[in-house]
Amino acid sequence: MAAQTVPEDATLDEIRAALVPELPVNAAFDGWTPKAIEAAANTLGVDPDVARLAFPGGAVEMIDAWFAHVDEQMEAALPAETLSEMKIRERITALVEKRLEILAPEREALRRALAILAMPHHIARAGRLGWRSADRMWRRAGDTATDYNHYTKRGILAGVYAATITVFLDDESEDWADTRAFLARRIEGIMRFEKTKAKFLGQTRDRRFNPSRLIGRLRYPVG
């Protein structure tokens, strides 16, 4: 893909958007450092000093912007109308696998990014980024839950996605077959959990005190 041309009068937001796709290419060699920003800027013909202003938060802000870009690429590649023909587990599988496909050329940059996010002072930010990606996937899959299901679904998927990435980073099997198999098992686990949860909640609701049901039994005793 050809590098994006940045107009001379581009705003800082426009410069940031142009730089983001170039960052992981350079971060694989230079780390998530100002050197990666400078290399990306040189590729696009942007003043390096201006480019550095686009990421005042340093490495974590660069990684955050890249992950958001991956979210956008995932959604563009799998529009809602495409996913609507799939079952829910197929949608989630397709979304995670598409993310892996997007990340595949930049596995070294991803490895370095995760090492930074694993630092104790970045754990909270890492959690928010994982949650954001899980939320984007569930929303793209058509989930509209607003109760506690909203949180359990995203929390579980964030954990599955993180575990899958760990496998993916060292997967040398053809077409990432080992990662795909790992993901399939974990998503099967999510589906079993959702079914068990729905059954439990249904039973719980049936056992709740219902005044109308009680009055009905008093008026029309069973047996």
Same domain membership, residue 8 and residue 87:
no
Same domain membership, residue 68 and residue 44:
no
- Boundary (domain end) residue, out of 16, 37, 56: 56
Ranges of beta strands (E only) in the chain are: none
Same domain membership, residue 166 and residue 114:
yes
Tens digits of residue pLDDT in 3-21: 556 877 889 999 999 999 9
Residue 63 within a domain: yes
Number of domains present in the structure of the chain: 2
Task: Report how far residue 77's alpha carbon sits from residue 101's, in angstroms, rounded to the nearest whole number.
Answer: 11
Write the DSSP symbol of residue 208.
S
Tens digits of residue pLDDT in 177-220: 999 999 999 998 877 766 666 666 666 555 555 555 544 454 44
Residue 223 within a domain: no
Residue 198 within a domain: no
Is the torsion defined by CA of 172, 71, 151, 82 positive or negative? negative
Same domain membership, residue 66 and residue 6:
no
Residue 122 within a domain: yes
Same domain membership, residue 65 and residue 168:
yes
Residue 187 within a domain: yes
CATH assignment of the domain containing 149: 1.10.357.10
Residue whose C-alpha is closest to residue 149's, from 138, 160, 133: 138
Domain of 108 in residue numbering reads as: 58-193
Same domain membership, residue 71 and residue 5:
no
Same domain membership, residue 125 and residue 30:
no
Tens digits of residue pLDDT in 92-123: 999 999 999 999 999 999 999 999 999 999 99
Task: Report how far residue 35's alpha carbon sits from residue 156's, in angstroms, rounded to the nearest whole number.
Answer: 36
Residue whose C-alpha is closest to residue 97's, from 218, 22, 13, 181: 181
Q: What is the model's pTM? A: 0.83
Tens digits of residue pLDDT in 133-174: 999 999 999 998 888 889 989 999 999 999 999 999 999 999
First to last CA, the chain: 76
Same domain membership, residue 184 and residue 93:
yes
Same domain membership, residue 152 and residue 117:
yes
Residue 96 within a domain: yes
31: left (phi over 0), alpha (psi -120 to 50) or beta: left
Tens digits of residue pLDDT in 38-69: 999 999 999 999 999 999 999 999 999 999 99
Residue 97 within a domain: yes
